[in-house]
């Protein structure tokens, strides 16, 4: 609804906040009850998550906080390459 009303910042905040809540509270509570093992290949996924996060940080600081079309295309291409690599090697 926030996006329809033109409040995209609130919409993005809701999505990010919901994801953080789910990851930190729900998964954290589950991990306290019973440890969650990292599956085979999970370390590579975590390293790529770190890489993408660090790669995304400077992109968010340029162009007045917006990701322009070519940056989005680059991120999409990198994600597709990583996804194909995971399917082929996993």
Considering the domain architecture, whether residues 32 and 43 belong to the same structural domain is answered as no
Considering the domain architecture, whether residues 46 and 71 belong to the same structural domain is answered as yes
Q: 35-57: per-residue pLDDT in tens?
A: 988 888 788 888 888 988 898 88
Contact 75, 56 (CB under 8 A): yes
Residue 3 predicted with pLDDT over 80? no
Is residue 10 very low, low, confident or very high in pLDDT (cuts 50, 70, 90)? confident
pLDDT of residue 77: 95
Model-level pTM? 0.58
Considering the domain architecture, whether residues 19 and 43 belong to the same structural domain is answered as no
Helices then strands, counting H and E runs in the chain, come out as: 4, 0
In Å, what is the CA distance from 81 to each residue of 30, 52, 78? 32, 12, 5
Considering the domain architecture, whether residues 79 and 89 belong to the same structural domain is answered as yes
Considering the domain architecture, whether residues 28 and 44 belong to the same structural domain is answered as no
Total structural domains within the chain: 2
- 59-77 burial: b if 16+ Cβ within 10 Å, else e: beeeeeeeeeeebeeeeee
Domain that holds residue 54: 38-90
Q: 63-87: per-residue pLDDT in tens?
A: 887 888 998 899 999 999 999 988 8
């Amino acid at each position: 609804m926030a996006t329809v009303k033109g409040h995209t910042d609130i919409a993005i905040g809701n999505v990010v906040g919901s994801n953080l809540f789910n990851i930190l509270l729900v998964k954290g509570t589950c991990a306290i009850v019973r440890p969650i093992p990292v599956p085979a290949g999970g370390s590579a996924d975590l390293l790529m998550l770190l890489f993408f996060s660090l790669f995304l940080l400077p992109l968010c600081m340029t162009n007045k906080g917006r990701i322009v079309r070519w940056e989005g295309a680059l991120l999409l291409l990198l994600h597709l390459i990583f996804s194909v690599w995971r399917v082929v090697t996993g």
